[in-house]
């Protein structure tokens, strides 16, 4: 796949700084990279704020949504928001992240916008990949069982992470 923009999503309740030098290293490799700084929110609030930042940046499609850590389960909702805005999603990459699991919003949750969004029935509609900097983990095994492209790094230096991410996206 030839991607357009890479959208690097940091974990909720963190900042874009969680990616360190990776965005600049990917740009040096010729990738168009957007790193929305969503701030201290989670659930659907995170998805809404990240989607607004993506829209403001006018990214090139098809997008590759890359979720780190707790941003991983939010990728299907992010994709739904992008498709609603007529931006094609060409792939997903989970970096040390839990893959999404079908679930309904919690009943009686006081802040539904903070709850984890349910996974759309048509997800995934694009290829998925998994990148682990923690070795072989249950999440890596789960990704392999789903038939996803998987890369496991021995170390998580920014250079190695950017190179592995670039190669994994190229393989989707």
The predicted model gives 10-15 an average pLDDT of 92
Please state, in angstroms and rounded to a whole number, the distance separating the CA atoms of residues 141 and 149: 11
Question: What is the percent of the chain with per-residue pLDDT over 70, rounded to a whole number?
Answer: 86
Give 49: exposed, middle or buried? Use CB within 10 Å, 0-12, 13-18, 19+. Answer: middle
CA geometry: angle at 131 spanning 127 and 136, to 5°? 120
Phi, psi of 114 (to 5 degrees): -95, -10
User: Which DSSP state fits 119?
Assistant: P
The predicted model gives 33-47 an average pLDDT of 87
In this predicted model, what pLDDT tens digit does every residue of 114-167 receive, in sequence order? 555 667 666 788 999 999 998 899 999 999 999 999 999 977 689 999 999 999
pLDDT at 24 (0 to 100): 97
pLDDT at 122 (0 to 100): 67
The predicted model gives 58-69 an average pLDDT of 95
User: Would you place residue 100 in the very low, low, confident or very high pLDDT band (cuts 50, 70, 90)?
Assistant: confident
Question: What is the percent of the chain with per-residue pLDDT over 90, rounded to a whole number?
Answer: 70
The predicted model gives 29-51 an average pLDDT of 89
Largest CA distance in the chain: 47
Question: pTM value?
Answer: 0.89
Domains of the chain from N-terminus onward: 5-171 (3.40.50.1820)
Give 113: exposed, middle or buried? Use CB within 10 Å, 0-12, 13-18, 19+. Answer: middle
Please state, in angstroms and rounded to a whole number, the distance separating the CA atoms of residues 84 and 25: 30
Token readout for 19 is 């990616």
pLDDT at 32 (0 to 100): 96
């Amino acid at each position: 796949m030839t991607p357009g923009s890479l959208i690097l999503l940091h974990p909720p309740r963190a900042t874009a700084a969680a990616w360190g030098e990776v965005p600049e290293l990917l740009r040096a490799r010729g990738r168009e990279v957007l790193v929305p700084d969503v701030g201290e929110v989670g659930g659907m609030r995170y998805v809404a704020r990240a989607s607004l930042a993506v829209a403001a940046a006018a990214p090139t499609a098809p997008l590759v949504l890359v979720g780190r850590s707790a941003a991983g389960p939010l990728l299907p909702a992010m994709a739904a928001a992008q498709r609603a805005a007529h931006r094609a999603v060409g792939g997903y990459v989970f970096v040390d992240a839990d893959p999404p699991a079908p679930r309904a919003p919690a009943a009686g949750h006081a802040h539904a916008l903070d709850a984890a969004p349910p996974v759309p029935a048509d997800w995934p509609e694009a290829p998925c990949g998994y990148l682990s900097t923690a070795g072989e983990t249950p999440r890596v095994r789960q990704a392999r069982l789903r038939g996803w492209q998987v890369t496991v790094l021995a170390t998580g230096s920014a250079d190695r992470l950017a190179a592995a991410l670039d190669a994994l996206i190229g393989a989707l």
